[in-house]
Amino acid sequence: MKLIPNNRILNYIFFNFRSQSIFHVLICGLFSVSVFLPQLAVARRPIAKPEADNTPTPTGEACSNNDISLNNQVSRVASNLVLASTWMSKPNWGLENIVETFGPYVSAFLNRTSWPSINERAKQARVPILMYHDILPKKQVFFDVTPEELEQHFQTLKENGITPISLDQLMTHLQMGMPLPEKPVVLTFDDGYGGHYEYVYPLLKKYGYPAVFSIYTNGVGNNVGRTHVSWEQVKEMAANPLVTIAAHSVSHPADLTVLPPEQMQKEVVESKKILEANLGIPIRYFTYPAGKYNEQVASVVQAAGYDSALTMNDLDERFAGASENLLAISRFGQSRLQDVITQAWGGTKLPSWKIGFDFASPVQRTDMTIDNIPLILVSGGQPITIHADSRYTVKEILARSNTNAVAAVDGGFFSLKFLNSNVMIGPVFSQVTKKFIPGNNGDNQKLGGRPLVLISPHEVRFIPFDPLKHNTLEGIQAEMPEVTDAFVAAAWLVKDGQPREASTFNGLFDFNAARYRAFWGINQNKQATIGVSLESVDSISLGVALVKAGLQDVVMVDSGQSTSLVYQGESLVRYEPRPVPHAVALLGSPSVTNTSPCVLVQNKTKHRGT
């Protein structure tokens, strides 16, 4: 397995261990350092001291916060050393786990996108940045928010499973494609109003939510008109790890782009210097006043040493990954909260370095839209096939299969000779029936080169079908001795991480037409994945989208009105799918199937075509 395709340093480190002692040092070093490392994206600022708690301490719990922290660290060290000793007693197993655990992150770091471009993986995610202004009991303009409304917003985030993340975490994600929580959001508050300290800061501590406060320096301590935070208040907030302070210019001009170059430079550069001098922390982010910027302003922001800049545009609000680059990260106004949190998605996981396939992960559904193609993907679990005795909807096949299958998609093509026929096009082998059924010789000759799907308890393979070799159980066992399931799919959509070109479909009927399409394969985390397109799409475009979705190898199993996907007992397509005799399913844990043949109630209905 080629773990590190693009980096000479990683190749050398992971493939040139010369002694067991080096291996032991590596394990101990990784575990020791891990005790003191926070999350991947680390805010480069002092950690706040725990706030005083006036609540009486119950008897028997009279230990300080520092003692608790120390005890936690000691506990982590002990746990890590125990695990490290286990790894060192089994070097091969230990090295495998090190590669699987740290490899994806190291690879993402060393292959990060050149600044200020945004990583392709991050472009597929949907991370909203919400922008707030003043928080005060009585609104003065429409975009003001009351303290009660703000807490209701926070409660809405909590009730909908949304995870606020820091701007540091977002930056790591945008540059490297590092994973984020499933439903992330970034909270930002502009202009340094007094309500930020009085109302927002206490709520952040109450809910444990991180946020960004953008401060223009002339406003600090200036209470003419609206109130603003004082330097003492900014210092207190900046010392809390939940808070990120961003520069927002010196005087908050209406439009940086129309200022003389010298004044524009002062607004950008001096605000950073003043904040750093007063707060004693590096200021890494800039927020354009009123969102106004151009190439010249962005260049000054870059030269001043900022890592990124936030903007806004009421007419062009985007998710963070859809921004032009890191010097123009888009935001949504807070009034869009209800809309954007329903779409929030942290993106696909990093490509796995797992040695072997992962058939133990829980089965999970993911809805996404890539290149304007709405998709539903279900990944995880143990893949199996179910060959029924006749034609039924996939929902019926799954319900009566006597397995603990969580999801299924319609499988291989079948004969049209009889309405209730379960005869397949090509050979078929299912672990549910434990019967190998050879394909018709006439059909087999037309299937040469199509993907033969082979499944075992430990792996999946997609190989070109050879009519002379693969029409017997002995023939497929020669390819995979532990094979439990086999059938011939329509065509590859993705092979070795690359979408297939038109010439590879060998004249497959309607491959380039827009149709509903069902597919199944293996993602970059080595998990079984099934799915459908919710709208009509051609095979080539679908393959391109699936690569962006993180699929490594994918075959098309069906298209048209037979296309069906069932998850947790419910059909996920927008129409009544035609009945079929074959399905690819994902078992939950534990992986238990019925050892007796699967017998379904006969149901004569309309048939589908090949």
> What whole-number distance in Å separates Cα of residue 66 and Cα of residue 234?
25
Closest to 540 (Cα-Cα) out of 559, 567, 562: 559
pLDDT at 211 over 70: yes
Confidence band of 585 (pLDDT split at 50, 70, 90)? very high
Closest to 569 (Cα-Cα) out of 394, 315, 383: 394
Quick one: which H or E segment has residue 234?
Answer: helix 231-238
> What whole-number distance in Å separates Cα of residue 470 and Cα of residue 448?
10
Pairing of strands 243-247, 211-215: parallel
Residue-wise pLDDT tens digits, 240-273: 999 999 999 999 999 999 999 999 999 999 999 9
Per-residue pLDDT, 29? 53
* Cβ count near 98 (within 10 Å): 17
Most confident listed range (62-66, 95-99, 466-470, 587-591): 466-470
Per-residue pLDDT, 99? 63
Confidence band of 13 (pLDDT split at 50, 70, 90)? very low
pLDDT average, residue stretch 291-300:
97
Contact assessment for residue 337 and residue 143, using Cβ atoms and an 8 Å cutoff: no
Confidence band of 100 (pLDDT split at 50, 70, 90)? low
Q: How far separated are the first and last CA of the chain, in Å rounded?
A: 36
The percent of residues above 70 in pLDDT, for the chain, comes to 79
pLDDT at 427 over 50: yes
pLDDT at 49 over 70: no
Weakest mean pLDDT among 359-373, 396-410, 582-596: 582-596
pLDDT at 315 over 70: yes
* Cβ count near 177 (within 10 Å): 28
Residue-wise pLDDT tens digits, 512-555: 999 999 999 999 889 999 999 999 999 999 999 999 999 999 99
In order of 356, 461, 501, the CA distances from 496 in angstroms are 15, 12, 13
428, β-bridge pairs: 437
pLDDT at 143 over 50: yes
* Cβ count near 390 (within 10 Å): 20
Weakest mean pLDDT among 48-52, 401-405, 445-449: 48-52
Residue-wise pLDDT tens digits, 326-352: 999 999 999 999 999 999 999 887 776
Confidence band of 353 (pLDDT split at 50, 70, 90)? low
Instruction: Please list, in sequence order, all residues whose beta carbon lies within 8 angstroms of the beta carbon of residue 486, skipping any fewer than 6 positions away.
Output: 385, 427, 428, 429, 436, 452, 453, 454, 455, 470, 476
Contact assessment for residue 287 and residue 246, using Cβ atoms and an 8 Å cutoff: yes
Confidence band of 179 (pLDDT split at 50, 70, 90)? confident
The percent of residues above 90 in pLDDT, for the chain, comes to 67
- Supply φ then ψ for residue 518, to 5 degrees: -110, 145
Per-residue pLDDT, 347? 87
